[in-house]
Chain A
């Protein structure tokens, strides 16, 4: 679909219902995250050190923001409103997605035990484009994360290319 349909345009900018994160912000997942890139920062795990700093206690690694909204692999959770699926791109053969750009803003440190909720909206959808990977649309989503006090703790803007893979070219 080279040009966006009215149905697709109607999805843009509509904020989803809040959705609770599957897991609280937790230290074990933070350890796995730090093991992955060999991040030895004691502010994440050493309570004594962390208390001695201006942060006044341990914090979760800020770049974990997106991970806190990843659902369990099993059992499959009811997905609820997924604005991207409402675009109908998959039915048009756009079965592959690749990340292009990600912007995270961190309003305040996340603490272990925080229970987050996320709202999501599609910020923009580009007209059809063809790249090396295939033909599809650049879609930008915006997630807003709130803690159990209703405070915005961070936002994540993600630009994805959702495409029909090009015919095999090797």
Chain B
């Protein structure tokens, strides 16, 4: 967890340190409670298989939550998320480990705000599963 502001400016192309989380069945149940998403794909393996999935997988809101956590660990607790796009490409399955990796994109000034665009990928042992693009507004300096 970063609690202090970074002294040096972010630079395009910088690689951000990976952050991982185990996708246990217990966490899948937590995700149902934490997102209030009771769609059976996320808690009923039989339903999931009958509808073309391999089994229970984690939902969009969980992925948004994890990307949000990563974003603030990378850019500071009081950086503010302005935009996030999540593209589901593969399923995030129970039993895997989810890892967020990121690269700093454009760093720009916009009406007195410092904005950083980030290209992020969420993936498991199966490879990349989720493309995430987000924009953080950094805490004003000084």
Binding site for B on A (CB under 8 A): 32-43, 49-50, 53-55, 59, 61-64, 66-67, 70, 73, 96-106, 109, 132-134, 158, 165-166, 168-170
Contact = CB atoms under 8 A, between A and B. Distances in A.
A134 B52 CA distance: 8
Contacts of A102: 60, 64, 84-86
Nearest to A103: B85
A40 B83 CA distance: 21
B86 A54 contact: no
Nearest 6 A-B pairs (CB), nearest first?
A: A36-B34, A133-B52, A53-B78, A63-B64, A39-B69, A63-B68
A170 B67 CA distance: 33
B36 A104 contact: no
B9 to A, nearest CB: 18
B39 A33 contact: no
Say which size band chain B's interface belongs to: 35 or more
Given A41-B1, A63-B67, A166-B52, A109 B60 contact: no
Contacts of B77: 41-43, 49, 53
B124 interface: no
Nearest to B30: A36
Interface of B: 1, 3, 21, 27, 30-31, 33-39, 41, 49-53, 59-62, 64-69, 72, 77-78, 80-88, 139-140
B52 A66 contact: no
Contact of B38 (A36, A73, A133): A73
A43 B86 contact: no
B61 A66 contact: yes
A103 to B, nearest CB: 5
Given A36-B31, A42-B77, A61-B65, A106 B21 contact: no
Contact of B35 (A38, A43, A67, A168): A67
A89 B84 CA distance: 29
B126 to A, nearest CB: 15
A105 B21 CA distance: 25
A67 B80 contact: no
Contacts of A133: 51-53
A8 to B, nearest CB: 23
A169 B52 CA distance: 8
A131 B83 CA distance: 29
A90 B33 CA distance: 26
Given A42-B3, A62-B80, A73-B36, 9 more contacts: A34-B65, A41-B69, A43-B72, A53-B77, A54-B78, A63-B67, A63-B81, A102-B85, A132-B52
A106 B82 contact: yes
B30 A63 contact: no
A99 B59 contact: yes
A43 B78 CA distance: 6
Nearest to B41: A98
B120 to A, nearest CB: 13
